[in-house]
Amino acid sequence: MAVDIKKYHQLKQHLQEKFVQLVVVTKTQSLTDINTLYELGHRDFGENYVQELISKQQALPADIHWHFIGHLQSNKVKYIAAFIHLIHSVDSLGLLSEINKQAIKNNRVINFLIECKIGTEQTKTGISKEELPTLIAKIPEYGNINWQGFMGMGSFTNDKSITEQEFSQFRDLKNKYATEQANMFSLGMSGDYNIALEYNSNLVRIGSLLFGART
Question: Applying CB under 6 A, which residues contact ligand PLP?
Answer: 25, 27, 48, 69-70, 153, 189-191, 205-209
User: Is the Cβ of residue 110 or residue 206 nearer to ligand PLP in the bound state?
Assistant: 206
User: Is the Cβ of residue 114 or residue 142 nearer to ligand PLP in the bound state?
Assistant: 114
What is the DSSP secondary structure assignment for residue 190, as one 8-state letter?
A: T
Closest CA to 198 of 159, 164, 173, 156: 164
Nearest to ligand PLP by Cβ — which residue? 207
Closest CA to 151 of 77, 70, 79: 70
For residue 4, the minimal CB distance to ligand PLP (Å) is 13
User: Is the Cβ of residue 69 or residue 103 nearer to ligand PLP in the bound state?
Assistant: 69
Q: What are the CA-CA distances from residue 198 to residues 20, 85, 117, 167 (Å)?
A: 12, 26, 19, 9
User: Is the Cβ of residue 81 or residue 206 nearer to ligand PLP in the bound state?
Assistant: 206
What number of other Cβ atoms are within 10 A of residue 30's Cβ? 14
Q: Which sign does the torsion angle of CA 196, 185, 189, 75 carry?
A: negative
For residue 113, the minimal CB distance to ligand PLP (Å) is 11
Task: Give one DSSP letter per residue of 93-112, joined into a string.
Answer: HHHHHHHHHHHHHTTS-EEE
User: Is the Cβ of residue 23 or residue 142 nearer to ligand PLP in the bound state?
Assistant: 23
For residue 8, the minimal CB distance to ligand PLP (Å) is 13
For residue 105, the minimal CB distance to ligand PLP (Å) is 26
For residue 134, the minimal CB distance to ligand PLP (Å) is 24
